[in-house]
Amino acid sequence: MDFADLHIHSHYSRATSKDMDLRHLAEGAKTKGLTILGTGDFTHPQWLKELKMQLKEAGEGIYEHGGIKWILQAEISLIYTKGGKGRRVHHLILAPSFEVVDQINAWLDKKGRRDYDGRPIFGFSSEELVESMMGISKDIMIIPAHAWTPWFSIFGSKSGFDSVEECFGDKSKFIFALETGLSSDPLMNWRVSSLDNYTLVSNSDPHSPYPWRLGREANAFTLKKTDYNHLIEAIKTKRGFEFTIEVPPEYGKYHIDGHRLCNFSTEPSKRNGDRCPKCQRQLTIGVLARVEELADRPDGFIPKEAVPFKSLLPLAELIAAATGYGVASKKAMELYSQLITRFGNEFSILLEAGERELAKTIPENLARLIIKNRQGKIKIEPGYDGVYGKPVLNSGKESTLGEFVR
């Protein structure tokens, strides 16, 4: 089985780690259990130069470096006006070859600059993007990125649309998939019947290669052949698409409504107006509220032929919650490394390792927490307005080493 994270960035994107290079990404992917990565940022001239120098062809439209297979991938931001409203939509682009990437970049050069950021901004519409990409190659795949995020997405509360068709017009026929984003999961998306024709993919969109970022969301495929065409076909048809890995949507930074500066958050059903009761500024309306606006099905509805999903917090987050150490602290990483040494990679630990086997390496209560994570039994204090959600243990209190790991 191949685990793929198809939306990442390079160290040329804003607010990313200097370690977002091929070497560190490959190392992080192997530790996580990923076998396929998107390259990120092929629109950036310097990063593209690095990709062409370091990646080796490993099949049709797939490349190899550091023991990991790579798919050519980028994200672009479109800011434009449609229907009398300002729109800000991010798009994931997958390409079958460097030749096609060069044609994409040549077309983008007619529209603006690509050299200032790994995720460049342009002023043309989503519809024009699809039309032009299909004119270059029908093998290009365009996926609306983190589809529900308030600020920059197809359905976002700040500038989004109410349907795929409203965004892409008659070019919707070339859209086959949507990226759920951290703050929503398939169960939420399944409530909107108009999305049934689109495959839901999950990617981590990381800005660092560390295990609590890279691969926190991913896609599991059983491919007849590991190459670009078979991967794209699996996304389009759902055949060979086994499941997605999702963080609990409450963990995402925009799950419920809130105002970060006032430390105020609220479930949509409890919201009294759209303004913060502490300062009267506009609340950031979260993903849950936006899904409720568009939903025409009850909670828990599962469409036929839906790709299943598994809800998992990253292992480093579990260790931090259980011990009180920071995710990047030396002591937390020692526990993490012990588990990786024993079980090989993080997905093996989160998805397969038995409690008894885990307890031979780590304290029993932490082993029990890993199993609870697999069963979806960890409560999350929901994220809002750019603040990540937090695991909550022991009667609503975040656990510390003394009260959880004994």
**Domain positions in the chain:** 2-250, 314-378+392-406
Direct distance between the N- and C-terminal alpha carbons of the chain, in angstroms, rounded to an integer: 36
Residue 386 has pLDDT above 80, yes or no: yes
pLDDT tens per residue across span 332-358: 999 999 999 999 999 999 999 999 999
Q: Binning pLDDT at 50, 70 and 90, where does residue 393 land?
A: confident
In angstroms, rounded to a whole number, what is the distance separating the alpha carbons of residues 330 and 376? 28
Residue 406 has pLDDT above 80, yes or no: no
Residue 402 has pLDDT above 90, yes or no: no
* pLDDT (0 to 100) of residue 400: 33
pLDDT tens per residue across span 89-131: 999 999 999 999 999 999 999 999 999 999 999 999 999 999 9
Residue 395 has pLDDT above 70, yes or no: no
Residues 212-224: what's their mean pLDDT?
Answer: 97
In angstroms, rounded to a whole number, what is the distance separating the alpha carbons of residues 13 and 11? 5
* pLDDT (0 to 100) of residue 331: 94
**Exposed, middle or buried: residue 21 (CB in 10 Å: 0-12, 13-18, 19+)?**
middle
Q: Binning pLDDT at 50, 70 and 90, where does residue 394 land?
A: low
Q: Does the domain made of 2-250 have the CATH classification 3.20.20.140? A: yes
DSSP letter (8 states) at residue 173: G
Q: Binning pLDDT at 50, 70 and 90, where does residue 43 land?
A: very high
**Quick check: helix, strand or coil at residue 393?**
strand
Encode burial over 357-376: b for 16+ CB neighbours within 10 A, e otherwise.
ebeebbbeebbebbebbbee
In angstroms, rounded to a whole number, what is the distance separating the alpha carbons of residues 358 and 354? 6
The percent of the chain in helix, strand and coil, each rounded to the nearest 5, is: 35, 20, 45
In angstroms, rounded to a whole number, what is the distance separating the alpha carbons of residues 124 and 56? 34
Contact between 93 and 72 under an 8 Å Cβ cutoff? The reply is no
**Could you give the C-alpha distances from 288 to 23, 38, 67, 178, 257, in angstroms and in order?**
37, 28, 39, 17, 8
